[in-house]
């Protein structure tokens, strides 16, 4: 059983590491892997705006570069106090590493919604489609 509150708490903690001087919009994420480890991420912006990386991808890349590719859940929070859904690029990156990922969008530890990646990114383009 996944401890969603704990993941949300870790994502909230990651907000402090957000580097977002352009949007002033902090996002935090926390990935849970099959091995029961967690990896945090926060958005990192850049003066060349397109070089910005979202919190979700920072967290996922953190897991991958720790040799932990089996991601099972990701919690996402932002400073908005509202549900913050992953952008299209992040959904695509999620699809690369899990076909059954649970995505938790949280206002706080007591107010969150859980989605399957398949709901947020149906008919995704995957490695198997490259022929
Ligand atoms: N952002 C994320 O980190 N994750 C999301 O799900 C939505 C957007 C970041 C990117 C940028 O630094 C800021 O939020 C405004 O778009």
| CATH numbers and ranges of domains, the chain | 4-129 (3.40.140.10)
The whole-angstrom distance between residue 44's C-alpha and the CA centroid of its chain comes to 13
Active-site amino acid positions: 56
The rounded Å distance from CA 127 to ligand 1 centre is 26
Pocket of ligand 1 from Cβ distances under 6 Å: 20, 23, 25, 27, 43, 45, 52, 54-56, 84, 86-87, 90
The whole-angstrom distance between residue 37's C-alpha and the CA centroid of its chain comes to 15
Q: For the chain, give me the number of helices (H) and strands (E)?
A: 4, 5
Nearest of 116, 81, 76 to residue 95 by alpha carbon: 116
- What are the CA-CA distances from residue 131 to residues 11, 97, 128 (Å)? 38, 19, 7
Q: What are phi and psi of 74, to 5 degrees?
A: -140, 135
The pTM score is 0.97
The rounded Å distance from CA 71 to ligand 1 centre is 20
Task: Output the tens digit of pLDDT for each of the chain's 131 residues.
Answer: 999 999 999 999 999 999 999 999 999 999 999 999 999 999 999 999 999 999 999 999 999 999 999 999 999 999 999 999 999 999 999 999 998 999 999 999 999 999 999 999 999 999 999 99
């Amino acid at each position: 059983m996944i401890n969603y509150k704990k993941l949300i708490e870790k994502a909230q903690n990651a907000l402090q590491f957000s580097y977002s001087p352009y949007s002033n919009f902090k996002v935090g994420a926390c990935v849970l892997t099959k091995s029961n480890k967690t990896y945090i991420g926060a958005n990192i912006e850049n003066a060349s705006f397109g070089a910005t990386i979202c919190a979700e991808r920072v967290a996922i890349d953190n897991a991958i570069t720790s040799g932990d590719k089996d991601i099972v859940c990701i919690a996402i929070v932002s400073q908005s106090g509202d549900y913050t859904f992953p952008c299209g690029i992040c959904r695509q990156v999620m699809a690369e590493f899990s076909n059954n990922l649970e995505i938790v969008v949280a206002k706080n530890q007591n107010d969150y919604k859980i989605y399957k990646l398949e709901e947020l990114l149906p008919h995704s383009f995957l490695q198997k489609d490259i022929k």
